[in-house]
Amino acid sequence: MSFLRRRRGSDDPAPDGTGKDSDDDKFEKPRWGSGGKKDKEVAPVRARWSCMDSCCWTVGFICSSWWMLLFIYNTMPASFPQYVTEAITGGPMPDPPGVKLRKEGLMAEHPVVFVPGIVTGGLELWEGHQCAEGLFRKRLWGRTFGELYKRPLCWVEHMSLHNETGLDPPGIRVRPVSGLVAADYFAPGYFVWAVLIANLARIGYEEKNMYMAAYDWRLSFQNTEVRDQTLSRMKSNIELMVATSGGKKVVVIPHSMGVLYFLHFMKWVEAPPPMGGGGGTDWCAKHIKAIMNIGGPFLGVPKSVSGLFSIEARDIAVARTFAPGFLDKDVFGLQTLQHMMRMTRTWDSTMSMIPKGGETIWGGLDWAPEEGFNCSARRTRNNNGFPGPIGKVSVDNVKGANYGRLISFGKDVADQHSSKIDRIDFRDAVKGTSIANTTNCDVWIEYHEMGVAGVKAVADHRVFTAGSVLDLLNFVAPKLMKRGSAHFSYGIADDLDDPKYDHYKYWSNPLETKLPNAPDIEIYSMYGVGIPTERAYVYKVAPMSDCYIPFQIDTSVTGENEESCLKDGVFSVDGDETVPVLSAGFMCAKGWRGKTRFNPFGIHTYVREYDHAPPANLLEGRGTQSGAHVDILGNFALIEDVIRVAAGATGDDLGGDRVYSNIFDWSEKIQLDL
């Protein structure tokens, strides 16, 4: 109170035209306030205490307090936050894995290669247009995003690739950042690889035996070699590390899309030049000890379909990183979405994650490997709340979730039995020339060329499975898919010895390639489970307007009961929030297990799942037991596994498989010729 009063007093005095006397005024005021006897002398020189002054006062007060706190914070011993955390959570924090394992006597042994995923690697500007002046060698992606807010359109222009070649547009060169800094932190305070790096450093790793294979994640995999020679670089660096560390083979740790990138690399390095790296068929056997895939979308992710189709998967990483809400249609209108769509569609790499294997893997109209999955069962187990009965009830309900139908138009369609759905083939439908007035639209996406007839044809097909989703994308975005089909393939090989599979477009598809001849390699599939993950969508046709994306997820559709997997128009399934368990685990659980035609030399595979537990309190940040797609890189159990393998352990030393989900059951249901 006293504080308030003091302030009010300062607001009260009568005005005085001259600001010059304000200094005197400050000294007079106390006297004037504390006792009236000197008022008469004081009054003539009294200055006005205006709103401006109060503002200054407030700001000054805040600033001073801020500085004071900052000073205290800086003088605080570095261990103080930890102390507080320990005091609150009770009991000492567990040692980070690096410290723990160091005590056990583990030391750096095998060199380590990180292969970052999509989105997480920084990109910097090397040449740009006028509007990007001053951003030379500054990050356009990652960190501050080149102060995107100052020039959003300029930014979109620079981040886009050429629409036809999928390479640089003329006059613009955006290049991946190199070194560990490329992906240790994505934005200030948001770690990606930093935790893993720090823990590895504890047992003696440093830059000479850790290598971040950063690449331009916007390009198709083969184009990274064409433009930047990234694959050659990676090969040369791995060879160097093996040579300088006394012949110790490397442990490769790809994350997310990096998993596919590294599959591509392994085929590339064996293939003869000019298409390949000419390392010979024993290169992998000579240089690689283990591949520890983290959250790898081996068989693609449904999210990428909705991303390409309507750039809508609400929490797709691309959109999320912009800060939640930014992309919200209600705030920015569709225009922003369209710009985003136009930009992301120039990125060939997004097409690497379209679901692979079609209906054999992802399920048909009335069948899916995950059917019977009970969303609430997992949830309840995490909460430790509900015992069995509810799980039993829901088993009867869940038949309704037709995961095989990746895209359905309308909830009724999603639920109906396939025989009851009227479908009209869209493939030959005539695309009307755009009836919508496109002159107002300053962005170009292929939807403008499709016209009303095309939209209707798509909607009339009602249901799209993993197989027909490809046709759908070919229909709505023919140019995009034409570019993409030169670099990626989504099928299942009948005969892997067919010479056509030497083409690089098959290299990143585990269902169309053989693993290398390296029986000593170990392949791990490490991923989080226990988080609902997008698996199928309910769509609707958007109302007509001038410039629009004609389809959107029908967010009004939500399951009636708590156990339903349908929420906001999205059917979800077990996974790590981005990659469904099936995609991350199937190859190691079944496709490559033992000697199969995809793994002719019997490379050992292990499935390591990490059950998601959200951080107990805010002080834990993103948690040490997280199973989420990116946060899992800070999961202590996972880090420990990685460190042990890097220090020489084998998969059996780790304890073989570690499974929480139904991955083996689901894999069994998939009829894939092995």
Partner 1 sequence: MASIRRRKPGFSDSEEKVRKDESLADEIEEEDEDKNNGKDKEGRVSGQLGKWKKEKKVKAPRWSCLDNCCWFIGLVCVIWWLLLFLYNAMPSSFPQYVTEAITGPLPDPPGVKLAKEGLRAKHPVVFVPGIVTGGLELWEGYDCAEGLFRKRLWGGTFGEVYKRPLCWVEHMSLDNETGLDPAGIRLRPVSGLVAADYFMPGYFVWAVLIANLARIGYEEKTMYMAAYDWRLSFQNTEVRDQTLSRMKSHIELMVATNGEKAVIVPHSMGVLYFMHFMKWVEAPAPMGGGGGLDWCAKHIKAVMNIGGPLLGVPKAVAGLFSAEAKDVAVARAIAPGILSRDFFQHQMLQHVMKMTRTWDSTMSMIPKGGDTIWGSLDWAPEEGYLPSKRRYTGNGSQPIDDNERKESTHRPKVHYGRIISFGRDVAESPASEIKRVDFRGAAKGYGDVNASCRDVWTEYNEMGIEGVRAVEGYKVYTGDSILDLLNFVAPKMMARGSAHFSYGIADNLDDPKYGHYKYWSNPLEAKLPNAPDMEIFAMYGSGIQTERAYIYQASPSECYIPFQIDTSANDEDENSCLMDGVYSVDGDETVPTLSAGFMCAKGWRGKTRFNPSGIRTYIREYDHAPPANLLEGRGTQSGAHVDIMGNFALVEDVMRVAAGATGDDLGGDRVYSDIFKWSEKINLEL
For partner 1, the closer CB: 240 or 393 = 240
Biggest CA–CA distance in the chain, Å, is: 106
Q: Within positions 508 to 547, which residues make up the interface with partner 1, using CB under 8 A? A: none
Is 198 a binder of partner 1 (CB under 8 A)? yes
Cite the active site residues: 256, 576, 629
Q: Within positions 2 to 31, which residues make up the interface with partner 1, using CB under 8 A? A: 5-15, 17, 26, 29-30
Contacting residues for 33 by C-beta, under 8 A, at least 6 apart:
9
Is 85 a binder of partner 1 (CB under 8 A)? no
Instruction: Report, in Å, the least distance between residue 16 CB and partner 1.
Output: 8
In Å, how far from its chain's centre is CA 203?
Answer: 29
Instruction: Report, in Å, the least distance between residue 94 CB and partner 1.
Output: 18
Give the one residue of 76, 88, 243, 674 binding partner 1; rule: CB under 8 A.
Answer: 243
C-alpha angle 488/491/496, rounded to 5°?
95
For partner 1, the closer CB: 98 or 300 = 98
What does DSSP assign to residue 633? G
For partner 1, the closer CB: 162 or 208 = 208
Q: DSSP readout, 516-541?
A: PS-TT-EEEEEEEESEEEEEEEEEEE
Q: Within positions 202 to 231, which residues make up the interface with partner 1, using CB under 8 A? A: 202, 206-208, 228-229
**Do 182 and 214 form a contact (C-beta atoms < 8 A)?**
yes
Give the one residue of 40, 72, 170, 325 binding partner 1; rule: CB under 8 A.
Answer: 40
**Do 540 and 551 form a contact (C-beta atoms < 8 A)?**
yes
Instruction: Report, in Å, the least distance between residue 396 CB and partner 1.
Output: 54
β pairing state of 551-553 and 185-187: unpaired
Give the one residue of 21, 53, 86, 568 binding partner 1; rule: CB under 8 A.
Answer: 53
Measure the CA–CA gap between 261 and 349, rounded to whole angstroms: 10
For partner 1, the closer CB: 445 or 646 = 646
Is 178 a binder of partner 1 (CB under 8 A)? yes
Residues paired with residue 136 on neighbouring β-strands, in sequence order: 125
Residue length of the chain = 674
Instruction: Report, in Å, the least distance between residue 66 CB and partner 1.
Output: 10
For partner 1, the closer CB: 298 or 504 = 504
Give the one residue of 24, 39, 442, 546 binding partner 1; rule: CB under 8 A.
Answer: 39
Is 35 a binder of partner 1 (CB under 8 A)? yes
Cis bond upstream, residue 274 (ω within 30): yes
| Binding segment (CB under 8 A) for partner 1, from list 170-178, 315-323, 347-355, 429-437 | 170-178
Give the one residue of 19, 56, 70, 92 binding partner 1; rule: CB under 8 A.
Answer: 56
Instruction: Report, in Å, the least distance between residue 17 CB and partner 1.
Output: 8
| Binding segment (CB under 8 A) for partner 1, from list 54-62, 256-264, 299-307, 326-334 | 54-62
Instruction: Report, in Å, the least distance between residue 671 CB and partner 1.
Output: 45
Q: DSSP readout, 72-136?
A: HHHHS-TTHHHHHHHHHHSSPPPPPHHHHHHHTT----S-EEEE--TTTS-EEEEE--GGGTT-B
Q: Considering only CA atoms, which of 537, 321, 501 is closest in space to residue 411?
A: 537
| Binding segment (CB under 8 A) for partner 1, from list 62-70, 413-421, 502-510, 538-546 | 62-70
| Binding segment (CB under 8 A) for partner 1, from list 53-61, 315-323, 533-541, 572-580 | 53-61
Q: How many residues bind partner 1 (CB under 8 A)?
A: 70
For partner 1, the closer CB: 231 or 518 = 231
Is 64 a binder of partner 1 (CB under 8 A)? yes
| Binding segment (CB under 8 A) for partner 1, from list 172-180, 389-397, 460-468, 585-593 | 172-180
Instruction: Report, in Å, the least distance between residue 334 CB and partner 1.
Output: 29
Measure the CA–CA gap between 143 and 138, rounded to whole angstroms: 9
C-alpha angle 170/175/181, rounded to 5°?
165
Q: Within positions 93 to 152, which residues make up the interface with partner 1, using CB under 8 A? A: 126-127, 133-134, 136-137
For partner 1, the closer CB: 34 or 383 = 34
| Binding segment (CB under 8 A) for partner 1, from list 196-204, 499-507, 576-584, 637-645 | 196-204
| Binding segment (CB under 8 A) for partner 1, from list 199-207, 346-354, 407-415, 625-633 | 199-207
Instruction: Report, in Å, the least distance between residue 406 CB and partner 1.
Output: 39
Q: Considering only CA atoms, which of 605, 517, 604 is closest in space to residue 284?
A: 517
Is 240 a binder of partner 1 (CB under 8 A)? yes
Give the one residue of 55, 107, 323, 674 binding partner 1; rule: CB under 8 A.
Answer: 55
Give the one residue of 19, 20, 24, 63 binding partner 1; rule: CB under 8 A.
Answer: 63
**Do 307 and 297 form a contact (C-beta atoms < 8 A)?**
no
Measure the CA–CA gap between 77 and 41, rounded to whole angstroms: 53
Instruction: Report, in Å, the least distance between residue 484 CB and partner 1.
Output: 25
Measure the CA–CA gap between 19 and 11, rounded to whole angstroms: 15
277-291 as b/e, with b when 16 or more CB fall inside 10 Å? bebeeebbbebbbbb
Give the one residue of 60, 94, 272, 324 binding partner 1; rule: CB under 8 A.
Answer: 60
Measure the CA–CA gap between 461 and 236, rounded to whole angstroms: 50
Measure the CA–CA gap between 292 and 525, rounded to whole angstroms: 6
In Å, how far from its chain's centre is CA 423?
Answer: 34
What does DSSP assign to residue 49? -
C-alpha angle 52/57/63, rounded to 5°?
125
In Å, how far from its chain's centre is CA 9?
Answer: 55
For partner 1, the closer CB: 242 or 375 = 242
Instruction: Report, in Å, the least distance between residue 644 CB and partner 1.
Output: 20
Give the one residue of 129, 173, 479, 595 binding partner 1; rule: CB under 8 A.
Answer: 173
Measure the CA–CA gap between 96 and 257, rounded to whole angstroms: 27
Q: DSSP readout, 459-504?
A: HHT-EEEHHHHHHHHHHH-HHHHHHHHTT---S--S-TT-GGGGSG
Which SS3 state, helix, strand or coil, does residue 141 take?
strand
β pairing state of 463-465 and 531-541: unpaired
**Residues interacting with partner 1, by CB under 8 A?**
5-15, 17, 26, 29-30, 32-36, 39-40, 43-44, 46, 50-51, 53, 55-64, 78-79, 126-127, 133-134, 136-137, 173, 175, 178-181, 184, 197-198, 201-202, 206-208, 228-229, 232-233, 236-237, 239-240, 243-244
